[in-house]
A = this chain, B = another copy of it.
Amino acid sequence: MYRLYFHRDSERGFEGTYSWLLDELKELKEARESNDRKALEDEFADVIAWLASLANITSIDLEKAALSKYDGKCPKCRHSPCQCTF
């Protein structure tokens, strides 16, 4: 994602990319409502691509961030499956 889109993402900046990400989330919801499985899969791919773009702009390693917080146990209760009582 970095190699593919960083030149464009960095020009667009955080606000613009964040706004695209929100649009993609709306499209994801529409795809879900239309019961089109291929479209839904595509929208999930788009959301994660825009999220990766946003992480690149802020120089955050998305995969590292995810693995460091969710390391196979719930970060709150430290159990798997999670046993938090909300």
Contact = CB atoms under 8 A, between A and B. Distances in A.
Given A58-B32, A70-B1, A44 B65 contact: yes
5 contacts: A8-B82, A41-B60, A44-B62, A44-B65, A48-B62
A44 B48 contact: no
Interface string A63-86: 001101110111000001110000
Nearest to A62: B44
Copies per complex of this chain: 2
A5 B69 contact: no
A68 B48 CA distance: 12
Contact of A49 (B48, B49, B66): B66
Given A21-B25, A69-B42, A82 B4 contact: yes
A78 B82 CA distance: 41
Given A46-B69, A49-B69, 19 more contacts: A4-B70, A4-B73, A4-B80, A4-B81, A5-B81, A21-B25, A32-B58, A41-B65, A41-B69, A42-B65, A44-B54, A45-B69, A47-B51, A48-B48, A48-B51, A48-B65, A48-B66, A49-B70, A51-B51
